[in-house]
Structure 1
Amino acid sequence: MLDNYFNYKENGTDFKTEIIAGITTFLAMAYILGVNPTMLAEGGMPATGVFFATAISSGIACIIMGLVSKYPIGLAPGMGLNALFTYTIILGMGNTWEAALAAVFISSIIFLLITISGVREAILNIIPVDLKLGIGAGIGLFLAFLGLKGCGIIIADPSTFVGMGSLTSAPALLALIGIFITLILYIRKVPAAVFFGLVITAILGLIFTALGFGAGDMLMPSLPSAVISTNIDTTLFFGFASGFGQLFSNIPNLIMMIFSLVFVTFFDTTGTLISLGRQCGFIDEDGKAQNIEKAFLSDAVGGIVGSICGTSTVTAYVESATGIGLGGRTGLTAIVTGILFILSIFFAPLVLSLFTSPVTAAALVIVGILMIVQIKDVEWDNLVVAASVFMTMIMMILTYSISLGIAWGFVIYAVGTIATGKWKEMSWGIWVLAIVFIIYLFFGL
């Protein structure tokens, strides 16, 4: 029955290969179970609730992807999107987490409509490729900055605004060791390097604690109660429903939130799905991918599921390439990944007690490094492009806001293009976005 549905032979795979690929993809993505609760908790959300929301929404989204599109791709709350959710929408704009979840729900509906209507290609053609690359790289730098700040390697300084903290402090030292370990594993091409880096760092954290060299808020888990938990925290489920009141009380703020979420989700998802589809061999010589629209549909539904469960936008993960690299070619790979995410809810106390800020810092830094690599394809010889990409990246960090970084990039690109006398070549979309962002930057709406 499974062979008839997933067509193993046609895709050059088999049942055993798909199972192994699914397990591998889960291990490569599992770090999000520790990172997401830590990050969203800074926005006032309960860490336990976020853990369950992350595990359940990821599991459901993966299973939907596997059944609907039959793509071997795992989904979970996106790195970068969770930073946008916490540090820009909640902390930067002053919204409650309920309102932020409502914004995720609406943005996912819009993304679903974009997918169904078939206007994705038109939107892709509006935005310059270099700006897309710059935004992705900027988010990578922002994630790394968050990781270094959270563990105390980077600290506030009254003279220079930022400075380097004491590397001999327990949190900073543990994070630094974790970064080195994870980087070495990744360089050595160890499968699921980020996840295993987190596990090794967490174990070292326990040793630190046992020796009396505390590493932050890490606690020694009480086994077996810390291993198995049946007390599922559902406090965040449908939490977005109470956020619509605040969301619609400030329309300009609402527009900026929705735009930022849709924009980042749209281009992150597009790049990931097309790249993974090509790796699977699903894209032909003309650039057309089989069932790609169903994959986009699954991704959009995953975002809706995430907002209902109580987490930031769920999207496709490039880490799925690890399972694909082992031969995963059908939706069964994604389904196995989803089942493992759901089963992980029983290990919440253990994960939450081990994966604290000093431990998850390594994951943020390594993911940041991987995201910054894409700027190699930027047309640096073009000063307009170079200026807009540079301002996008640096302003994300200096303003502590992904949306402000995007705004600066578009405004600089528009001004630079006008200065070169090529303003007639700018698409109407760039004109509209530049005007909106100028209003946003100068009037703070």
Structure 2
Amino acid sequence: MSIEAQEVSPPNGTLARKLDSWFGLTEHGTNIQRELLGGLTTFMAMAYITVVNPAILSETGMDFGAVFVATCLAAAVGSFIMGALANYPIAQAPGMGQNAYFTFGIVLGMGTSWQSALGAVFVSGIIFIILSVLPIREWLINAIPRSLKLGISAGIGFFLAIIALAGGGVVVDDPATLVSLGDLTEPPAILLLLGFVLIAALSHRGMIGAVVIGMLAVTAVGWVFGVAEFKGLTSMPPSIAPVFMQMDLSSVFEWSMITVVLTLLLVDVFDTAGTLVGVATRANMLDEKGHLPRLRKALLADSGATTIGAVFGTSSTTSYIESAAGVATGARTGLAAITTAALFILCLFIAPLAQSIPAYASGAALLFVACLMARALEKLDWNDITESAPALVTAMAMPLTYSIADGIGIGFICYAVTALIAGRTRECPLAVYVVAIIFGLKFAFL
């Protein structure tokens, strides 16, 4: 079982009391140790981005080392703001999917320079900040029906599962069936599944830090048997100069780039919405009305991180679904996110060690978290098909489209049309119709 919020004793010591007061540790049923462990777990689950993001963006001609530094700094600043401002246990970093769109959709696909693409990310972040300050976005997210929130949470879990299984080679792409079973005799597949069952078994026994223990155990096995490479401990960070402040804003307002900015904005808005709702639901952070607390601050933190990330020289920064791994370890407050931020700064100097954690090890943790998040479906009202069916479609669409945002869009459209035909128009929030129309236009024209 996962670590749920529970009664804890007030901390001793001046610093501990200050941290408890600032983050509300006792109030949230957690303590400093759990928050630090949760932040470490989240970092380990998402440390792959420090390698993957530079690898993808360097396809555009951007300097790998400079993007590595930009990735770490964007993740550190974004996570710190989220923890300090919104008090959420949610870390941020350049988003997977967004970086692929940046590289293969904007730069290589449209023939745009990477400097212009950075400019589009920067402008989308500014618009994002404006929407976050205004009540529009907060109203939009809080108006999501409870059933769709549960579907989003479970869908993110399924999305994590396919990322994990694909990363370990348990499932592979297939031209005939889209996906197929990989070679389960390969060491990465074996170690991923071994790590998963180890984490699950230790969690059942109430072992605090089971996720970290499982990840480290299979990583060490991989090092010993040559499946994973131990790349060392420390190195000096490369220069960020080749990508820092390199946004080209002169071409952003051309018609072709306006559609790019709108696409970046839509993806970021709804990826963030899905992550905040999914992780907060798993952490039992929703209030009695099913709304997210301190939502405007969380949205400002996320939108600000996108803008700052563009300045550093990376694609859109967003809230990370891997934060659910830290929540599963016991994290409930922003102290965990700040811990992750500090580790990303440290990662600048321990890049070889961070790069030594193989995909199958983080995949084991993500697969376990996926199982926990899928439990949200049990809270659905299965007797009301107008609520349960759109929620289930939302959950299934996320991994099958490989997009949180597209899965949410399909879910909203299904919910709105189902309510309309079923004669439940007045029971469906106006925001649902608005979002359904927006996504309908996106799917049709963007």
Q: Aligned-residue CA RMSD in angstroms?
A: 4.2
- Deviation of 1:171 after TM superposition, in Å, equals 2.5
What is the aligned partner in structure 2 of residue 165 from structure 1? 182
- Deviation of 1:340 after TM superposition, in Å, equals 3.7
Q: Does 1:155 align with 2:172?
A: yes
- Contact conserved, 1:62 with 1:74, CA < 8 A, in 2? yes
- Contact conserved, 1:101 with 1:239, CA < 8 A, in 2? no
Q: Does 1:241 align with 2:247?
A: yes
What is the aligned partner in structure 1 of residue 53 from structure 2? 40
What is the aligned partner in structure 2 of residue 391 from structure 1? 393
Name the stretch that deviates more: 249-258 or 127-136.
249-258
Structure 1: gaps spanning 5 or more residues:
210-214
Deviations 1:106-161 (A, max 9, x none): 45434433443344542234332222332332232122112212322112334433
What is the aligned partner in structure 1 of residue 8 from structure 2? none
Change (3 A) 1:140 1:324: closer
The match for 2:44 among 19, 23, 31 is: 31
Deviations 1:359-399 (A, max 9, x none): 33223322322332222223332222233223223333333
Q: Does 1:370 align with 2:372?
A: yes
Q: Does 1:260 align with 2:273?
A: no
Name the stretch that deviates more: 427-436 or 132-141.
427-436
What is the aligned partner in structure 2 of residue 349 from structure 1? 352
Change (3 A) 1:275 1:363: closer
Cα distance between partner residues in 1 of 2:410 and 2:324: 27
Change (3 A) 1:219 1:390: same
Q: Does 1:122 align with 2:139?
A: yes
- Deviation of 1:164 after TM superposition, in Å, equals 0.9
Name the stretch that deviates more: 57-66 or 342-351.
57-66
Correspondences of 1:217-366 after superposition (within 5 Å): 218-221=228-231, 226-232=232-238, 234=240, 237-238=243-244, 241-242=247-248, 245=251, 249-269=256-276, 272=279, 294=297, 296-309=299-312, 310=314, 312-315=316-319, 317=323, 321=327, 335=338, 338-352=341-355, 354-366=356-368
Name the stretch that deviates more: 157-166 or 101-110.
101-110
What is the aligned partner in structure 2 of residue 181 from structure 1? 198
User: What is the DSSP-based 3-state SS (H/G/I as helix, E as strand, rest coil) of the residue aligned with 1:163?
Assistant: strand
Name the stretch that deviates more: 246-255 or 136-145.
246-255
TM-score (norm. length: structure 2): 0.75
Cα distance between partner residues in 2 of 1:174 and 1:205: 8
Q: How many residues align?
A: 418
- Contact conserved, 1:388 with 1:410, CA < 8 A, in 2? yes
Cα distance between partner residues in 2 of 1:286 and 1:157: 44
- Contact conserved, 1:105 with 1:240, CA < 8 A, in 2? no
- Contact conserved, 2:132 with 2:138, CA < 8 A, in 1? no
The share of aligned pairs that are identical, in percent, is: 29
- Deviation of 1:205 after TM superposition, in Å, equals 1.1
Cα distance between partner residues in 1 of 2:213 and 2:146: 34
Name the stretch that deviates more: 412-421 or 28-37.
28-37
- Deviation of 1:246 after TM superposition, in Å, equals 7.4
- Contact conserved, 1:247 with 1:254, CA < 8 A, in 2? no
- Deviation of 1:58 after TM superposition, in Å, equals 3.6
Cα distance between partner residues in 1 of 2:373 and 2:242: 30
- Contact conserved, 1:61 with 1:298, CA < 8 A, in 2? yes
- Contact conserved, 2:51 with 2:68, CA < 8 A, in 1? no
User: What is the DSSP-based 3-state SS (H/G/I as helix, E as strand, rest coil) of the residue aligned with 2:179?
Assistant: strand
User: What is the DSSP-based 3-state SS (H/G/I as helix, E as strand, rest coil) of the residue aligned with 2:350?
Assistant: helix
What is the aligned partner in structure 2 of residue 212 from structure 1? none
Q: Does 1:400 align with 2:416?
A: no
- Contact conserved, 2:69 with 2:239, CA < 8 A, in 1? yes
Cα distance between partner residues in 2 of 1:154 and 1:393: 19
Name the stretch that deviates more: 132-141 or 115-124.
115-124
- Contact conserved, 1:33 with 1:55, CA < 8 A, in 2? no
- Deviation of 1:335 after TM superposition, in Å, equals 4.9
Cα distance between partner residues in 2 of 1:179 and 1:36: 21
Change (3 A) 1:400 1:42: farther
Give the letter for the 1:145 counterpart. Answer: I
Structure 2: gaps spanning 5 or more residues:
1-13
Deviations 1:72-100 (A, max 9, x none): 746333xxx83442466655785787777
Change (3 A) 1:360 1:388: same
- Contact conserved, 1:18 with 1:333, CA < 8 A, in 2? no
What is the aligned partner in structure 2 of residue 433 from structure 1? 435
- Contact conserved, 2:173 with 2:180, CA < 8 A, in 1? yes
- Contact conserved, 2:128 with 2:269, CA < 8 A, in 1? yes
